[in-house]
Structure 1
Amino acid sequence: MNNSKFMDLLERILMPIAEKLNNNRHLTALRDGFLVALPLIIFGSIFVVIANLPFLDQLLSEEAYTAYQNALNPASAATLSIMGLFVIIGIGYKLVEHAGGEGIYGGVVSLAGFLILTPQTVEETSGVIPTASIGAEGLFLGILTAFLGAEVYRFFVNRDWTIKMPAGVPGAVTRSFSALIPIAMTLFLFLIIRILFGLTPFDTVQNFIYTVLQEPLTVLGGGLPATIVAVLLIQLFWFFGLHGQILVNSVLDPIWYTLNNQNLEAFQAGEELPNIVTKQFIDTFIVGIGGSGMTLAVIIGIFLIGRSRQMKQVGRVSAPAGIFNVNEPIIFGLPIIMNPLVLVPWLLAPVVVAVVVYFSMAAGFVPKPAGVIVPWTTPPLLSGFLATGNAWQGAAIQVVSMFIVFFIWWPFLKIMDKQYYESEQQEDGEASKE
């Protein structure tokens, strides 16, 4: 089957599904909600890179490096680290606005409902909200909360459970009082949910979600089958808006770090390295090629084949951060989350690369990770070189990996680009008629 027929087949299979999903108002609100947060995410991503430039800690004194990071960290802490809040507001706003209501009330009621469900205690200190709960870790609950909050609010508004103000009252005041009862009833529902979960062993909704998701991961180990499962889970969680690395790494990091230290001790002693899968195997040869999903190769693909303005702009915006393995701009800008057109390459490419790298190391073509902890913002090629004990083969296998990712993504990028391009041409044609 030639490329043209293969792409036609993909279009026939995927495009009808994508069209139905794109017309779903919840998925549309989800996509638009992420776009609301995108400028803030990009801003935070840039300063994550600047604050963690590779080897800067070696060039500056410890005090100077700490002061440098402390000066820049608020930029990402106020945007990227609490991105869940912006996404929740965006989803709730767009969902209510799409139904013809006052979007701002959909946004704020969704945010308030989420905060009611969020633990407000850190260790022994009450009245404090943990940052992790309102960042990428809290996205899954945040998305569900925004959907529920906006729909319940609309339910009460549609039934006219509102306070009517007399004529002559300013419009802003009328709208505010009109939203009072729907908002109060919606938030009361969230309060009931929090109280009910407080009566369970999980205590909070967050604990329930993470317990249910993390417990199955505890059976994973450090072999290739476990690694494939771990990589698939990372990708799958990200697809649904959960920070896959945080979820999977929280369980597997103790195993991966132990294997890493065994390799480091053997490397320092001049002995044969015992392990292939280590912390650096994941961080350098999977995640370390542009971020989760190895999206640096996807960005390169966009530059090579993109015709649509949207794809080109996503590539330009994502490239600087992607070089340093920060890929939130492309994850939320392409988008990847909840986008059925990219599910196959998003899941497949990292698995194929993991298998290729594993067997390349098992066969001796590429040295095993030496146990050296390479800063995660180190650009590809340099990171591969350092992680394998300054071996050029480490950089070479990263180049091979990027080619693999590019060729897996290529037909899907072509389909997306064609869809965006045709939509832009249609919009330009309509604009010219006006």
Structure 2
Amino acid sequence: MNKFMEFLEDFLLPIADKLNNNRYLTALRDGFMVALPLIIFGSIFVVIANFPFLDKLIGEEAFASYQNALGPASAATLSIMGTFVIVGIGYKLTEHYKGEAIYGGVVALASFLIMTPQVLEGVSGVIPTASLGAEGMFLGIFTAFISAELYNFFVKKDWTIKMPQGVPDAVSKSFSALFPITFTLTVFLIIRIAFSYTPFETVQNFIYTIIQEPLTALGSGLPATIVAVLLIQVFWFFGLHGQIIVNSVFDPIWYALNDQNLSAFQAGTELPNIVTKQFIDSFIVGMGGSGMTLAVIILIFMIGKSRQLKELGKLGGPAGIFNVNEPIIFGLPIIMNPLIIIPWLVAPVVVTIITYFAMSTGLVPPPAGVIVPWTTPTILNGFLATGNAWQGGVLQAFNIVVVILIWWPFLKVLDKQYYGDEQKPSK
């Protein structure tokens, strides 16, 4: 283990150092840090608003009113978190160029909004909130990069309005930013118009079409499931909401398989399928969220020495218990972090294989087709998903240990890096 960790340090840390000095990855990381407090706030209220089985305790009508009252907390944060990240990236990248950072942030947001369809169910002038959240994150990240670069290019070309002496500083800066912002937004408007003449109509449609079309050829079974799980992880690593993309293709298949199992379970006959919607939701995603990050939180408490990881564990732990893992995804961070790409991709695939063979050999009953609330804590949701079979909870516990073992050396290296950075004297 020590030699393996030394290899990781010798191989990955130099790469990570170079990437950390890359202005785009630095802006990306810092942009997510800008959004992190809002993401954590929204995550907390998602958990509170979706306590499992609360509807059974207080009744459907009271539960609906309860959720409606708490809904704005997540709607104003998690649902539109892409906008905060975009502003943060534009701000930080412009700050790197010693420019007026606030204008870099707002031009990035405006550029993204120009590229975003403003039609919802036939009503124009309405921006779907899904486009402002995780679904639009991929486009938003690259829009922020390009818009900040364009803005700073025009500023360096000195295509600005110079105001005379005596004009208030705020007014002078505003007029100085006028031409660079105008030129930048015009570029994105031209791109939007150009895409309107293509079969895709919008940039978003283009992105999702080229991602989804290869997925439509896939079916059910272990190989397809491994591909689906791996794609979820890859998309998340690059800032795309992997579940939304992959589920949009696979959900019809998984739900149909789920219904077949439910019918068989109710009839008392043999369950025909292993891979179902609940197989994914309970045994892959339902262990702390995508990537089974509940195990990562546990590992942070076990080995974390850096203040950053310790605080992240405290903040992400309560939400992670209920399978909300945005604090870990954006706080560790997962996105574009070369130190954790190996466990992030490998652990879910290994768990998928273990779970499949445990069920195919009869050690654990397959999912019974019962839809378990997604916020149900791990162990309990494994028990419920398998038709109240204790083996389901035991399998989840075993899988958590597997994920911890896979992540251990990589998180150790990451923690060591953070700890070393914290020991450096502040400038």
Normalised-by-shorter TM-score class = over 0.9
The answer to whether the aligner puts 1:27 opposite 2:25 as a matched pair is yes
- SS across alignment from 1:393: helix
> Equivalents in 2 of 1:97, 1:15: separation in Å?
26
> Equivalents in 2 of 1:211, 1:373: separation in Å?
29
Deviations 1:138-162 (A, max 9, x none): 0000001000100000000000000
Aligned counterpart, 2:243:
245
| Correspondent of 2:111 among 101, 110, 113 | 113
Aligned counterpart, 2:314:
316
> Equivalents in 1 of 2:105, 2:225: separation in Å?
39
Deviation at 1:384, TM superposition (A): 0.2
| Correspondent of 1:210 among 193, 208, 211 | 208
Aligned counterpart, 1:144:
142
Gaps spanning 5+ residues in structure 2: where? none
Deviation at 1:279, TM superposition (A): 0.2
> Equivalents in 2 of 1:165, 1:423: separation in Å?
43
- SS across alignment from 1:53: coil
> Equivalents in 1 of 2:230, 2:59: separation in Å?
40
Aligned counterpart, 2:229:
231
> Equivalents in 2 of 1:124, 1:188: separation in Å?
26
> Equivalents in 2 of 1:119, 1:276: separation in Å?
39
> Equivalents in 2 of 1:57, 1:217: separation in Å?
36
Deviations 1:275-301 (A, max 9, x none): 000000000000000000000000000
Deviation at 1:221, TM superposition (A): 1.4
> Equivalents in 1 of 2:27, 2:380: separation in Å?
40
Deviations 1:76-109 (A, max 9, x none): 0000000000000000000001110000000000
> Equivalents in 2 of 1:212, 1:56: separation in Å?
40
Q: Compute the RMSD of aligned alpha carbons.
A: 0.7
Whichever residue aligns with residue 322 of structure 1, its letter is: G
Deviation at 1:424, TM superposition (A): 1.0
Counterparts of 1:363-382 in structure 2 under 5 Å?
A: 363-382=361-380
The answer to whether the aligner puts 1:420 opposite 2:418 as a matched pair is yes
Deviation at 1:10, TM superposition (A): 1.0
Aligned counterpart, 1:179:
177
- SS across alignment from 1:340: coil
Deviation at 1:220, TM superposition (A): 1.5
Deviation at 1:23, TM superposition (A): 0.3
Aligned counterpart, 2:293:
295
Aligned counterpart, 2:330:
332
> Equivalents in 1 of 2:311, 2:218: separation in Å?
39
- SS across alignment from 2:339: helix
- SS across alignment from 2:206: helix
The answer to whether the aligner puts 1:87 opposite 2:85 as a matched pair is yes
Aligned counterpart, 1:345:
343
> Equivalents in 2 of 1:227, 1:275: separation in Å?
13
Deviations 1:39-62 (A, max 9, x none): 000000111111110001111222
More displaced stretch, 10-19 vs 315-324: 10-19
> Equivalents in 2 of 1:417, 1:64: separation in Å?
45
> Equivalents in 1 of 2:100, 2:346: separation in Å?
41
Gaps spanning 5+ residues in structure 1: where? none
> Equivalents in 2 of 1:134, 1:165: separation in Å?
36
Aligned counterpart, 1:42:
40
Percent identity reads 74
Deviation at 1:416, TM superposition (A): 0.6
Whichever residue aligns with residue 321 of structure 1, its letter is: A
Whichever residue aligns with residue 307 of structure 2, its letter is: R
The answer to whether the aligner puts 1:305 opposite 2:303 as a matched pair is yes
> Equivalents in 1 of 2:53, 2:219: separation in Å?
31
> Equivalents in 1 of 2:336, 2:353: separation in Å?
26
Deviations 1:189-234 (A, max 9, x none): 0000000000000000000000011111111211000000000000
Aligned counterpart, 2:130:
132
- SS across alignment from 1:365: coil
Whichever residue aligns with residue 135 of structure 2, its letter is: E
Whichever residue aligns with residue 260 of structure 1, its letter is: N
Deviations 1:13-56 (A, max 9, x none): 11111111000000000000000000000000111111110001
Aligned counterpart, 2:13:
15
The answer to whether the aligner puts 1:388 opposite 2:386 as a matched pair is yes
> Equivalents in 1 of 2:360, 2:253: separation in Å?
19
Whichever residue aligns with residue 403 of structure 1, its letter is: V
Whichever residue aligns with residue 342 of structure 2, its letter is: V
TM-score, length-scaled by structure 1: 0.98
Whichever residue aligns with residue 94 of structure 1, its letter is: K
| Correspondent of 2:52 among 51, 54, 63 | 54
Aligned counterpart, 1:201:
199
> Equivalents in 2 of 1:32, 1:287: separation in Å?
27
Aligned counterpart, 1:259:
257
- SS across alignment from 2:56: helix
Whichever residue aligns with residue 224 of structure 2, its letter is: A
Aligned counterpart, 1:104:
102
Aligned counterpart, 2:283:
285
Whichever residue aligns with residue 75 of structure 1, its letter is: A
TM-score, length-scaled by structure 2: 0.99
> Equivalents in 2 of 1:178, 1:235: separation in Å?
43
Deviations 1:362-402 (A, max 9, x none): 00000000000000000000000000000000000000100
Whichever residue aligns with residue 354 of structure 2, its letter is: V
Deviation at 1:314, TM superposition (A): 0.7
> Equivalents in 1 of 2:374, 2:185: separation in Å?
41
